[in-house]
Structure 1
């Protein structure tokens, strides 16, 4: 066993690393990161006026292989920006651009534009993001329709929709059939620009870019792409995470009445203590935007992993035309890549989400334990600390399912290892947690300590598996271990190698109850430009890092998830949390909003951030409860637990420099309030798990904006402080210190029931409610049925055989519906039909349980769990008994509390111990 000194970096190295860490771990410094004016491609594109650059025209438009093909030719000679930021520098020679338009089932139009094969180098097209069977869903276009003048070509897109290619100047429109008004359009403002790759003619050409002492060689010259996209019939646009904002709807960033603002930046970065309201790019990037308005919804996605900047343009930005009512113009700018873009016609918002998920994949179905509460800190000190924290949860009657270990558990920041002094018996430690049905998560980051005695570093070095620098050597960057190399996970062979490292033989000390956390995978490089990898670093296939940057963390997440899948021989579902993400990350696991801070503004911002992630595929997401940085006052911590209990991913986490903040450290009263919040989550686990099943099939997120459930209610369009959990529950956070009251808008169309006391409220108006310290406002929509489990155990795995409660909130017709999904909670057997899926329908004073599994599906899953209580809200008094069929059994009916704990009014009609099995067909009639 090496001495502690042997396990530490040399003293000078440690001092250097400490200096770097202190400089990056301090509050966010604006000047450490580029703004648009410091990014020549963004500055050029943003400085253009509509129709101010030479236009392109579509020539030789024809059908080829069932898709539309054309050549894009300059109406005038193109200009090439050889000086880097001079918009007037000549582009010579210009080459033809090739265009292809394809149509996919469900209302999806794909636009691809690339240089022709004569280009000196092939531009990077992002692999492994679109579903591999996507082309199986492509429609074969039989014909093109063109007017006599030949000025445009149109073709079928979906029932009620058509796509139109306008030839000169080139423009794409998606229209309703028979209408001249578009739903979506590209290049209607004439801002399409495509900088073509070049070869240096002489050594005097300077294509380099410099920022804060770093030089980007840009060996292939400027290669940016920009264009405008317009959303017609839109009141608001949403999406394009990740940025921190208190607004769910994207605010205008340019145009009349807009103060100087940066575009929304998509560039994965390690940002410490990020601002709570900023368009600045954070840890992940999904270039997907969706619009919603009273008339329809639509969406646009650009598959491009290079840095992207996106402007939302205020009405009147185009001063050459009158502002178009109900239209939102946007400007999309990327440093590199190709045009591989998708238009989604909707017309309903859930249709847009299904269309996007149809090309990037549905969210992975999590194991059931992962939906419960997680306890994390940087760092639990040693095995004794782990045992003490675990025991204290039991002592204070607070359930939890997962305990996390950060980087300090390793041997000198060498991942896949354990500190042999602090964690000498990792299997025994995990076994003690597993005996209570609990799990552990350890961190594995992409930076590999450059140490020839470290077997992973040595093996990858010998195989040539690291990202290279611009000179062709293994890239050397600084992160937590000091000098580090980074596996080139763009390479499928290297991803396969990485996955093997999670085997029990390779990851010594790991067990089947251990899962993984990928952090710092933007990638974070402390001494790199903008704390990340240089753009001219080289990946597999001679791809520059600038071209793949936003997807690096995606490939790392993919490889880790596949490693856990292989570890379990494909039997158990992986759980992997990733900080960085890209389109398609939902297929591989969970994400969170990164290094937030313990303040009320960050609590408020967490809701639109998580809602935006859900709208862009990442349904399983959350924010660090309590805030990662800083020390939350008890009131803030309690309010954060009360809100976080409704996040899809529910985890408390804190920086190592913060005071310990386990739930029992703030006095008995606050402990009771936190315990109650955690109990709320555990009681709702059956409902959450059912929603995760829905998300895994349809892509509809667990946590939803109000307008997703109430698309016709305009009052919901710009609401980011309240949200829906599934179709049934509405939650309003409390975001101010010592707040005494809150105004809650309850959407129209139904009445609502307070989840604490059963009181009924009218929909379609705002209600001013007194705020109590024991909960935040939460409501169940009339006409819904929510399944619960009300017996609290140490962990969710110990609740498996517990009975259920159904809470039935009746609407004006005394009717309601809801669903319950149950499987074994861990394996993939559900894919073969081994699950229970019931629909509960209450009408005419009769509750019916119906099997909604497909009739011919195979697989079996059984459960002896029963329903022990049925609570009815809104049922007129006078019920005497309940009769259950088959069997003609009777059950008692009485007035009873809505919850098993205090604070509930006696307003509910309760059927006691009907004891009907969840797996069976049955009816229960109220008499």
Structure 2
């Protein structure tokens, strides 16, 4: 949350964004875009082959700058391109903690060598890399076809670190000499002056993606799923900022950054991962060119996408992920930066939040309201007002005098409490936590070596230096039950304002010349700041439990790798239809770049939604990974029952349906945790060869089985739904009616419904009821819905564990069951030999969609028992068979034979 204007979205006359830079305000961007292309040569005779790849020296002709190019092909079809100064006068920053382990490298061999180029290959021989002498280019080939060219446009840029210029003393202040060189060492924006300790040290490079005309990713921006050509305006900016009520369809950086671009065409998906945590801009140009295809008889027009990355500092560390399928790309990226943490089951339920619930009585009243109105939920949240004067790890002694009793009250119902913990610490010499952090050296410092102080919710604040491992360890210990008085094991955490947000700072964040652990300037680590707080918080909750319990931590600021730590939301949105609509491409962009546990504030954080908008937002968010209602203190109360019974009933239905579908959602998160597959998927992920899906960002797949098309317009009575796949069949989950794919369907809707379809060939698992929370849900039997394809087949997996501990990992206490239907026979079998989990979960009923003929009987066979007949009902109008009262254990092998 940011400072909220009482009058509306923003108190800024320029729409809230005048405090933020455009690219024209940024010196390194201007230098690179306006300066001449630098001419680099690859010195081919310097080639050295190593176990980790190959090294070349590069020479820039004008300034005779020598660079070292390291080229590493990895076993997971990833090519890493690393460029640094050959002999820097001091080390340049390299991003730590994001790449989980150094990728295993393949042994390169020289395939061909000429005076102009060297071609390298590695097993099994599908891919090659060709390095050209002059002008330097690096081509990545697959099946002898160039798919990526690095430095295609000659935009490689590397400003070598220099000795600082002379200084002269003017009074008590040291001033840089005002010549052309020294001006590069300081930069002014509004009243803020940024003094650069290492001078100008920006980097840049361009890549041409051959054959691609659709690229995605680069969150976080409030923009369409497919990235736009930037020749018509601003580049995409990656710089974590607190942008309250952010402008829609803007390329301004928001709360988090993932420098991963995903390109897709029908026969290949590839990624470009630019590992740099400093301020970064990305320009994208789409074009066509004549192309001589491999073995083609004549040239044809081929699309190209040119991607130009520009960063303020650091090294060039660029990884090209070669796919070729979307699923392989997701796996390649997860192997680099980590898989999605498997969340505790309660975290996938509904969360109720407000800035702020007034006191303990208010929290208990809201909790009771959910029970009274028969609406399930799992977590209630407290914002900054729950603390004693905005001091984190404390409680307001008047409004929250008995926090342990409050948590125990919720825990009796198996519900949880989440509280906020921000990175700024109130400057208070009488507060022991502040003194401990100060005396332990855990705060960042200004460029003069003094404690940096900024302003945030408590007023004058110091900011924790989460780039320091010692500070992260100290912060983690603060969550211990003996340290965090009033906390219990059912308390979980929300990291906010961690871009970091600094009121009245440059762009409402920390100055770039603030100094962190290791002497690095803030400019180097900016986009990592929230990631490192998230890391420390998650580790603190794990340590609190003795390593036995999974944490839940929500963060606003994030970076590549944040998926390993918890959940993310899209920040301070607004209660309008436009923000509901933009939330879908924003969440899809996060999902394709690994941040899969994501959501948007239901109803909009700022301003007041009307009843219809609120209902539609609940319906959409119930079909998205992270599901939380949240609103600012300036808004009217909007618990689900305050708008009258019609609205309450519609919201109740949406939330109950979410809970019923949680067995399916939990399985999808297991797949994300083990395979890197996002639960929320753009249509093209599941239908990669269909051109009609490539620009769709108003609907999406939930896993491979369900297609959702949320209603995002007011007063809608009919919606247009694209059903992909001319050879596919889709079943309306409400009516069970079957529709052929490869068409756009006009479907009537009411306030109570939104379109969701099950894909033929899939199996979906639901609970038979919603309960009051996920703990009750785990005790309920399941229903299986089987959607038959044209061959009468379907399959799907179900994952089960205890829902909260690390026993699934440490003791292999889990099971994955595969349900497969073919030739009229549904089988329940283990999906693999790994894992054992003693559970009593049963299948109560089976629904089979697309069964053309009424069966004469249904026979149940359970291993070791006598076959029995099952009662069934056949509805011929929609070809649906329902088999009830089965009571079949999920963990046991059994068959269901349709005769």
Partner Cα distance (1:293, 1:391) in 2: 51
1:635 to partner: Cα distance: 0.4
Which of 283, 304, 318 aligns to 1:327? It is 304
- Secondary structure at the counterpart of residue 442 of structure 1: strand
- Secondary structure at the counterpart of residue 315 of structure 1: strand
1:235 to partner: Cα distance: 2.6
- Secondary structure at the counterpart of residue 763 of structure 2: strand
Change (3 A) 1:25 1:476: farther
Query: Does 2:883 correspond to 1:911?
Result: yes
Instruction: Tell me what 1:548 maps to.
Output: 525
Partner Cα distance (1:65, 1:797) in 2: 51
Matches within 5 A, 1:302-313: 302-313=274-285
Note if contact 2:679-2:703 (Cα within 8 Å) is conserved in structure 1: yes
Change (3 A) 1:633 1:22: closer
Partner Cα distance (1:150, 1:227) in 2: 21
Partner Cα distance (2:430, 2:851) in 1: 71
TM superposition score normalised by structure 1: 0.91
- Secondary structure at the counterpart of residue 79 of structure 2: strand
Change (3 A) 1:443 1:201: closer
1:17 to partner: Cα distance: 12
Instruction: Tell me what 2:823 maps to.
Output: 844
Q: How far does the alpha carbon of each residue in 1:320-344 deviate from its partner, in whole angstroms, 9 at most, with x for none? A: xx99622111111101110111011
Partner Cα distance (1:146, 1:595) in 2: 55
Partner Cα distance (2:211, 2:65) in 1: 36
Which moved further from structure 2: 334-343 or 54-63?
Answer: 54-63
Matches within 5 A, 1:189-338: 189-203=153-167, 204=177, 205-206=182-183, 207-245=185-223, 247-254=224-231, 258=232, 261-315=233-287, 325-338=302-315
Which of 691, 697, 706 aligns to 1:729? It is 706
- Secondary structure at the counterpart of residue 111 of structure 2: coil
Note if contact 1:233-1:296 (Cα within 8 Å) is conserved in structure 2: no
Partner Cα distance (1:455, 1:861) in 2: 46
Matches within 5 A, 1:284-433: 284-315=256-287, 325-433=302-410
Note if contact 1:404-1:442 (Cα within 8 Å) is conserved in structure 2: yes
Which of 878, 888, 894 aligns to 2:854? It is 878
Which of 6, 25, 41 aligns to 1:38? It is 25
Query: Does 2:476 correspond to 1:499?
Result: yes
Q: How far does the alpha carbon of each residue in 1:516-541 deviate from its partner, in whole angstroms, 9 at most, with x for none? A: 00000000001210000000010111
Q: How far does the alpha carbon of each residue in 1:144-184 deviate from its partner, in whole angstroms, 9 at most, with x for none? A: 2233335223222765222222222221211113x2x3111
Change (3 A) 1:883 1:585: same
Q: How far does the alpha carbon of each residue in 1:868-906 deviate from its partner, in whole angstroms, 9 at most, with x for none? A: 110111112322332111320121011379xxxxxxx97
- Secondary structure at the counterpart of residue 112 of structure 2: coil
Instruction: Tell me what 1:130 maps to.
Output: 99
Which moved further from structure 2: 685-694 or 146-155?
Answer: 146-155
Q: How far does the alpha carbon of each residue in 1:623-643 deviate from its partner, in whole angstroms, 9 at most, with x for none? A: 011010110010000000000
- Secondary structure at the counterpart of residue 914 of structure 1: coil
Instruction: Tell me what 1:29 maps to.
Output: 16
Query: Does 2:137 correspond to 1:152?
Result: no
Change (3 A) 1:23 1:848: closer
Which of 584, 587, 592 aligns to 1:615? It is 592
Note if contact 1:478-1:526 (Cα within 8 Å) is conserved in structure 2: yes
Partner Cα distance (1:228, 1:48) in 2: 15
Q: Supply the RMSD in Å over aligned alpha carbons.
A: 2.1
Partner Cα distance (1:389, 1:755) in 2: 32
Change (3 A) 1:820 1:311: same
- Secondary structure at the counterpart of residue 18 of structure 2: helix
Partner Cα distance (2:599, 2:524) in 1: 29
Partner Cα distance (2:635, 2:19) in 1: 25
- Secondary structure at the counterpart of residue 101 of structure 1: strand
Query: Does 2:863 correspond to 1:894?
Result: no
1:24 to partner: Cα distance: 6.8
Partner Cα distance (2:452, 2:632) in 1: 29
- Secondary structure at the counterpart of residue 119 of structure 2: strand
Note if contact 1:783-1:811 (Cα within 8 Å) is conserved in structure 2: yes
For structure 1, the 5+ residue unaligned runs are 1-15, 79-93, 898-904
Q: How far does the alpha carbon of each residue in 1:37-81 deviate from its partner, in whole angstroms, 9 at most, with x for none? A: 1001112223357xx43333334112134410011112x222xxx
Note if contact 1:730-1:778 (Cα within 8 Å) is conserved in structure 2: yes
Q: How far does the alpha carbon of each residue in 1:568-602 deviate from its partner, in whole angstroms, 9 at most, with x for none? A: 01101110000000010001110010001111111
Instruction: Tell me what 2:296 maps to.
Output: none
Partner Cα distance (2:600, 2:401) in 1: 32
1:21 to partner: Cα distance: 13
Instruction: Tell me what 2:90 maps to.
Output: 121
For structure 2, the 5+ residue unaligned runs are 168-176, 291-298
Q: How far does the alpha carbon of each residue in 1:165-212 deviate from its partner, in whole angstroms, 9 at most, with x for none? A: 2222221211113x2x31112101111110111113423223210011
Which of 660, 666, 676 aligns to 2:643? It is 666
Instruction: Tell me what 2:43 maps to.
Output: 58
Note if contact 1:443-1:517 (Cα within 8 Å) is conserved in structure 2: yes
Note if contact 1:184-1:298 (Cα within 8 Å) is conserved in structure 2: no
Partner Cα distance (2:216, 2:149) in 1: 17
Instruction: Tell me what 2:171 maps to.
Output: none
- How many aligned residue pairs are there? 869
Partner Cα distance (2:255, 2:671) in 1: 27
1:909 to partner: Cα distance: 1.2
Note if contact 2:270-2:324 (Cα within 8 Å) is conserved in structure 1: yes
1:843 to partner: Cα distance: 0.9
Partner Cα distance (2:752, 2:797) in 1: 29
Instruction: Tell me what 1:529 maps to.
Output: 506
